[in-house]
Amino acid sequence: MIRVSLDHLIVVYLAILLGFLFCVWVAAELFHTRRERRRRRDFVICGICDHVFEDRSEKHLMNCPRCGALTERSKVREI
């Protein structure tokens, strides 16, 4: 039988718990950034009225729902 003191057992338990929580946190952050990147890809800003709307189609030109102007899809950058 392996003899382990209570101090070592607590340290090992806390290290395993912190390692698990760190892995869960990293996985959640990766999932969140991937979802945000996918969502931001569908955003379109109208050049006339500056209305931001979501368009999931793959068309390069679409009509703005607010003013009806033809709007070209471009990359939306975060400030």
The per-residue pLDDT for range 5-64, each reduced to its tens digit, is 999 999 999 999 999 999 999 999 999 999 888 877 788 888 889 888 888 888 888 889
Do 46 and 75 fall into the same domain? yes
Q: Are 60 and 72 in contact (CB under 8 A)?
A: yes
Domain, as residue range, for 67: 42-79
pLDDT tens digit sequence for 11-22? 999 999 999 999
Count of structural domains within the chain: 2
Contact present, 55 and 65 (Cβ < 8 Å): no
Same domain, 3 and 36: yes
